[in-house]
Amino acid sequence: MRKGIGVSPGVAVGQVYCVDEIFVNPQHTHLPDHDVLAEWRRFEKGCEETAAELRALAQKMTRQVGQDQTGVFYAQEAVLRDPAFIGKVREEIVRHQRPAPLALENVFKEYEQLRARTKDAFLKQRLLDVHDVVIRLSGHLSPLLSLETDGSAPRVLVARELLPWHIIAVGNLPLAGIVTQTGGATSHAAILARRRGIPAVTNAADVLSQCTNGDTIVVDGRNGTVIVSPDPEQESAYRKLQREFVDLRGQLAGNRDQPARTADGVDVALLANINGLDDAHAAAAMGAQGVGLYRTEYLFLSHPAVPSEEEQLERYRLVFAAAPQRRITIRTLDLGGDKTIPFLGHDREANPFMGWRSIRLSFEHPEFFLEQIRAVLRAAADPAGADAEIHLLFPMITTLEEIRRIRAMVRRAGKQLAAEKKPYRFVPLGLMLEVPAAAFMIESLIREVDFVSIGSNDLVQYLMAADRDNPKVSHLCEPLSPAVLRVLLRVVQACNGAKKPVTLCGEMAGDPRSFVLLLGMGLRSFSMSPAVIPQIKDLAQHIDIEQAKSILRDTLTQRTTEQVRKLVGRRVRELVPYSELLQAVD
């Protein structure tokens, strides 16, 4: 048994499917003598294909953002010609007769160990180039991820951690659950699991060393329990809970066409957070009333190069057409931190989440940023978007000057399109409130924008000065902290007082306890993972506004996070007893 952090509710029993950092899962086989030469040639072919891909990327980026940003591609191509790197892989394949993916994996681990030890900044950067090349090269040698199933058992993904490009690789592959060794409640693994509506546990220490592919595993996303190879009694008990969880989820999904309304008849907007077109369809299937957050960076992260304005335009048209009720808030690129692409923000920083990221990165590349703004304005005027309610959201706003600079860039984009005689339409502009400085200046900032979206994931970690993906401090990133609740109350009251629409689009929106408190604060618009919309809609139907306000008042008298969790958890269970299947008992 391992104890971690339950980050997506429910119970799953399935077969372990272990993945490593680059999703290779190589076969641990010994090649026969007659296959060695063919395997070496396969590796050489993969290197040639990767080098050609890097050269094409460099040429395209030279045209789009300038030659200064293409050095990384040439540096990575040089890795593929490096005698030391090639020699190590050759020895693995030819001397030790290992398949190319396994050989690459072994060499990769050697370089990663060296990167962890070195203090030399130049060498560390070169080793990061090796890291990125191996990820790209591995895709030419084997599929990023394949879940071959015999139809007998669902698969539970077990990994050290999930990174943004892993989320793309997973896509819509069938998964029953997720377990990772690191991460917290707002890690990428947690967000993916909640988006898919599958149980997940993060920060399960050393779990990879305790299991192998095919082992039976239990995942309890309510309390963070993970059991590898459970005994018959344990397995039987958890399978019963799994059936109850699946049945409950199916029953709740039946409210798809019901209004999102409190017990006393107050309408609330339950919107969806999406990464792309598939999520937009899922949001419609779950009864969302629109898209409250379209994370456009995943279009860039999944693109083999960088999407042009025309490619962005086509994708936005498709997403607008699929969005529930044709209502969508599109966020401009939120790159940096743990989401990087080689041609923007590739340099690793000592503290990337508080560094050169999001809107700061966009300002550094104004022409690149303008391209995205132009694509959105054009899509808004297109027949696919002309009758849609489209809002444009800008991440990590800190100062009033940034808002004014953004408005100037939007005007510039409009003038360019007018001069080119390309149809466009201006749309409402909003700020994503994630930085405490913006929260404390909210009364001034909202005068300059049309709406506000609260990004609670980053706001919480910045308020608590704790990296949400660092297991040593992730326990501090608690949205039910009294300090967080007081800041949110101030922001919601300021927006409502100024009659500016405000939505919360972090993971708090889909948590039953947080939802009740936010409802009591006066928030009426929530954006969440599509999979949790039915549960939140049902909860809304069981509570009236006075009850929510009463729970909030009681909560604001509590002095610790633990006291808040226990009080609100108990009150939510009184409203909807079935919530014990969906959240841990505090």
Which residues are identified as catalytic?
Answer: 188, 505
CA dist., res. 313 & res. 315, Å (int): 6
CA dist., res. 435 & res. 491, Å (int): 12
CA dist., res. 96 & res. 86, Å (int): 15
CA dist., res. 319 & res. 322, Å (int): 5
Q: Which helix (H) or strand (E) holds 565?
A: helix 561-575
- The sheet carrying 216-220 orders its strands as 2-3, 225-228, 216-220, 11-18, 155-159, 177-180, 200-202, 5-8
**Please, which residues bridge with residue 430 across strands?**
393, 451
User: Using an 8 Å Cβ cutoff, are 111 and 103 in contact?
Assistant: no
**Please, which residues bridge with residue 179 across strands?**
158, 201
Residue type, 108: F
Q: CA geometry: angle at 14 spanning 8 and 18, to 5°? A: 85
Tokens 């050609």 label which residue?
52
CA dist., res. 243 & res. 225, Å (int): 17
Cα separation values, 505 from 55, 233, 264, 327, Å? 39, 41, 24, 15
CA dist., res. 538 & res. 543, Å (int): 9
Closest CA to 179 of 192, 187, 189: 189
Tokens 């444009």 label which residue?
392
Closest CA to 385 of 450, 294, 315: 315
User: Using an 8 Å Cβ cutoff, are 51 and 74 in contact?
Assistant: no
Residue type, 416: Q
- Spatial neighbors of 490 by CB under 8 A, at least 6 apart, are 439, 442
With 0-12 / 13-18 / 19 or more C-beta atoms within 10 angstroms meaning exposed / middle / buried, residue 497 is: exposed
Quick one: how far is CA 362 from the chain centroid? 19
Cα separation values, 103 from 17, 49, 91, 106, 202, Å? 21, 18, 8, 5, 29
CA dist., res. 109 & res. 231, Å (int): 34
Which segments of 413-547 are extended strands (E)? Answer: 429-433, 451-454, 502-504, 525-528
User: Using an 8 Å Cβ cutoff, are 4 and 179 in contact?
Assistant: yes
Quick one: how far is CA 234 from the chain centroid? 32
Tokens 């931190």 label which residue?
337
Closest CA to 163 of 298, 40, 260: 298
Number of Cβ atoms within 10 Å of the Cβ of 389: 17
Residue 394 in tokens: 């800008």
